[in-house]
Structures are given as C-alpha cells and as structure tokens.
Amino acid sequence: MQTVYVNGDYLPKDEAKISVFDRAFLFADAVYEVTSVIGGKLVDFAGHMARLHRSLGELDIEPPVSDDEMLDIHRRLVAENAIEEGMIYLQVTRGTADRDFLFPEKDVRPNLVLFAQAKSLIDNPFVERGQKIVSMEDLRWRRCDIKTTQLLYASWAKSLAHADGADDAWLVRDGFITEGTSNNAYIVKEDGTIVTRQLSEDVLSGITRSAVLECARQLQMKVEERPFTVEEAKAAAEAFSTSASSFVNPVVEIDGSTIGNGAPGPVARRLREIYLEKSRAAAI
C-alpha cells in the first residue's frame, strides 16, 4: 500500500486527504518539486530545495518545514514505499481558506503533501529511439520561472502532441522555443555547440539543466545560452531535453523534420552517461 505524507502524518493512500477549500484546488495556488530516486537515493536534493525556497519566496508562502525535516520526509517515503528507482513529488499550497481571490491572512498555514512513485527512469525507450516533438504556441502565464502547479496548458499541449503522433511539445513564444512541456530544450549545432535558452521568466530553471550544462563545460563542450527557432532546431545535428525524471532525453524529430540522421546523437548520449554517473555518486 502506498504511503503518503500529509501535514505531519504518514497515511495509507486512501486516507491521504486535503480540503476542497485548499487554495491549490481552487486557484492552483501552490508550488511543487519532483526529486528523482536512483538506487534508493535522492538526486540533487539540495538543488530542489533551493528552487523550492525561491518559488515559495516569489509567492510569499512560508516554508512549512525545515530542509532537514524535508529530507527526513523524503527518506522515510523512499523507505516506506520501497523505492529503488522513481520520484518523490512534493507540493506546498498556500493553505485552506474561504474562497477569495485575495491571498488569505498570514495565520493560514501552508499544506504540505508528498508522495512517492516507483518508475523505471534509467531504462527509457527514448534513449534508443528518441522523442518526436511538435512545436506549439507557448500560452502559459508569464512567470514560468516559478514552479507552480498551474500545469493545465503544459498538460494540454503534451496531450495534443500525443494526439498528433508525437511524444511531447516544445513551446514557442515570439518565434523562439522556450522549453518543453515539462523539460528544458536543447539543440546541438554541426560544430558540437550546445544551444539552450537563457534563464529568464520564460523558462523554469531546471535542476537537471544546471547539472548537465556543468557536465558539458567540464567536457570542454561549447555552450550558448540564447533563444533558438524551430527552423534552427530542424537544421541541428541533434537535439535533446532534460528533466529530473528523464535526465538527458534525445529528440530526433521536430514538426515532422528529421534531426541529424534521425537517431539519438552522441552529445546527448555522452551527457546522459556522465550526468547519471555523477548523480549516482552524489545522491544522498
């Protein structure tokens, strides 16, 4: 039976409940993090905590527990749910209050929910066959740097991509790709230079993005942080995406155009290997 954490209690899945007046349910007034688990250990926990604090700070929500307590909760969920490989999902909501657009007074306490999901992450069919991407207008709100649970457009875009026979969507704002529905987007030029959009309010600052760019720089690969277009992606030597649960995930097609020779490229493969090697070694 799955064990879920709710505000201090470890409960069987069916008993884990939050009020219908929770502001996440009514307004998507909540932030979240997803930390991957490899070999029963947490990957880049500190990075996820740093981003959580930033998201909470931007929205003026108090952290409900300390980082040490958060680590204990993560570890207990890994143990109780016997997670060898998978994810820990964490959500902090502004709390439960009468429905009102105005943020409630400070005496309303945030709600904290975490659960574990077992999932095969390292063995992923995309590593061999690559993802097919379609581009779509980026219709999300303008603060994509805050990791809120306002995921309807991202979820819709991914579903539309699937209906179109693709695996995911890359979102386009003012003619340039911002990111994927739940991942950062990259292309590799013919000369081996990795291109990914610079950080701003248009994209989420991926924890995997920062680790992978560091791997790339250590491997003396050239990195350009700048916007790129769908046309540039079509003409690229290779492409890939990154996220905590997919690591480095090759892309072989965009809008029906084959990228490179249509197979996952060597840069994505190498970065995935190095990222996994480092993550395993540093996991806690």
Which residue ranges make up the site for ligand PMP (CB under 6 A)?
Answer: 34, 179, 182-184, 204, 206-209, 242-244
Whole-number minimum distance, CB 262 to ligand PMP, in Å? 25
Whole-number minimum distance, CB 31 to ligand PMP, in Å? 11
- Kind plus residue range of the DSSP H or E element containing 125: helix 125-129
d(CA 79, CA 111): 23
DSSP 203: S
21, 128 Cβ separation under 8 angstroms: no
| Catalytic residue positions, numbered | 147
Positive or negative torsion for Cα 128, 248, 197, 53 = positive
Query: How many secondary structure helices (H) and strands (E) does the chain include?
Result: 8, 15
Residue closer to ligand PMP, measured from CB, 103 or 153:
153
Residue closer to ligand PMP, measured from CB, 208 or 279:
208
Residue closer to ligand PMP, measured from CB, 155 or 261:
155
Residue closer to ligand PMP, measured from CB, 97 or 161:
161
Whole-number minimum distance, CB 14 to ligand PMP, in Å? 27
Phi and psi at residue 115, to the nearest 5°: -145, 165
Query: What's the burial of 2, exposed, middle or buried (CB within 10 Å: 0-12/13-18/19+)?
Result: middle
Residue with tokens 């890994």: 78
Whole-number minimum distance, CB 112 to ligand PMP, in Å? 18
Whole-number minimum distance, CB 40 to ligand PMP, in Å? 20
d(CA 192, CA 256): 23
Residue with tokens 């490989």: 85
Query: What's the burial of 12, exposed, middle or buried (CB within 10 Å: 0-12/13-18/19+)?
Result: exposed
DSSP 266: H
Residue closer to ligand PMP, measured from CB, 33 or 96:
33
